[in-house]
Amino acid sequence: MGRAVTDALTDTVGMVAGPAADRDGDAAAVFAGSDVVIDFTPPGHTARHAGLAAAHGTACVVGTTGLAAADHAAMDAAAMDVALVQAGNFSLGVNLLTAFTRRAAAILDDGWDIEILEMHHRHKVDAPSGTATLLGEAAAHGRGVALDDVARRSRDGVIGERPAGEIGFATLRGGSVIGEHEVIFAAGSERLVLAHRAEDRGLFARGALTAARWAATAAPGRYDMLDVLGLKD
Ligand SMILES: NC(=O)C1=CN([C@@H]2O[C@H](COP(=O)(O)OP(=O)(O)OC[C@H]3O[C@@H](n4cnc5c(N)ncnc54)[C@H](OP(=O)(O)O)[C@@H]3O)[C@@H](O)[C@H]2O)C=CC1
Ligand SMILES: O=C(O)C1=N[C@H](C(=O)O)C[C@H](O)C1
């Protein structure tokens, strides 16, 4: 994603990326010298980077997925001082899909089983994907429940019948798949499938740049891509 973001910057403002930063030594310098930092590091660095954003008064766009509760707590704390946009997916299509998912889940009762299927390339380290989690949260929100109370993140062995109200996740990994997601609503006699296919990683990079421009002038606070796109209810 780092390369995709620098390519998108070159395409949009003609900027040429400088040498890669010495990650540990220079992270503080990067935050100190920037209006906005776009962070697509692997899981494990988000809390530290959120702290640096707050310490240097630098807005931040976080694309990293596989986030832990401590990362969210650190981002909430940083958002008291700076604008912080965090999104499991920066594409317009996926963010529209979250709105559709929430609406469908609100309309369809728990006679409709909700399952979320995702597939990504073989190098992805976290599961379920950030997007799948985002879609699960949208479905849970539509149902008026907390995702952690109803999520089934894996199934193996003799696990019994599926309880009503469960939101299931299925993870596929392989090859070079950029990102595919389906939200399946399955009832006794019919099935509704909402789907998104990403066809180019530049899609996420362009969305992150849109978020960065937006964050540069936003008041301190914790935001997501629906805020950036003006799609919040
Ligand atoms: N929100 C969204 O729309 C999207 C989110 N993502 C998420 O972004 C994250 C990164 O994905 P991806 O680019 O595929 O992962 P990669 O592993 O391909 O790239 C991660 C990069 O971060 C570098 N890195 C590792 N540690 C640090 C550090 N402490 N400081 C600075 N750089 C560091 C790595 O360097 P090196 O290789 O030398 O270790 C590598 O270049 C994942 O969590 C992924 O799920 C991805 C696509 C879209
Ligand atoms: O790791 C990836 O590649 C992607 N990660 C994000 C996620 O976890 O949902 C977004 C996109 O699907 C690609």
Q: ipTM score of the complex?
A: 0.97
pLDDT by residue for the chain (233 residues), tens digit each? 999 999 999 998 887 766 666 666 889 999 999 999 999 999 999 999 999 999 999 999 999 999 999 999 999 999 999 999 999 999 999 999 999 999 999 999 999 999 999 999 999 999 999 999 999 999 999 999 999 999 999 999 999 999 999 999 999 999 999 999 999 999 999 999 999 999 999 999 999 999 999 999 999 999 999 999 999 88
User: Measuring from each residue's beta carbon to the nearest atom of ligand 1, which residues come in under 6 Å?
Assistant: 1-2, 23, 40-43, 45, 63-66, 87-90, 130, 204
**How many Å is the Cα radius of gyration of the chain?**
18
pTM (2 d.p.): 0.96
Q: How far is residue 215 CA from its own chain's centroid?
A: 16
- Among this protein's residues, is 120 annotated catalytic? yes
- Among this protein's residues, is 49 annotated catalytic? no
Question: What pLDDT score does 20 carry?
Answer: 63
Domain boundaries, the chain: 2-90+201-229, 92-197
Nearest residue to 87 (alpha-carbon basis) of 63, 53, 51, 118: 63
**CA–CA separation, 34 vs 171, rounded Å?**
37
Q: Which ligand is nearest to the CA of 41?
A: 1
Ranges of beta strands (E only) in 40-173 are 59-62, 83-86, 113-120, 151-152, 167-173
Q: Per the residue annotation, which of 49, 120, 181, 196 is the catalytic one?
A: 120
Q: Which ligand is nearest to the CA of 63?
A: 1
Q: How many CB atoms lie within 10 A of CB 36?
A: 23
Q: Is 213 exposed, middle or buried (0-12, 13-18, 19+ CB in 10 A)?
A: middle
Which atom belonging to ligand 2 lies closest to the Cα atom of 90? 10
Domain 2-90+201-229 coded CATH 3.40.50.300: no
Q: Which CATH class is domain 92-197?
A: alpha beta
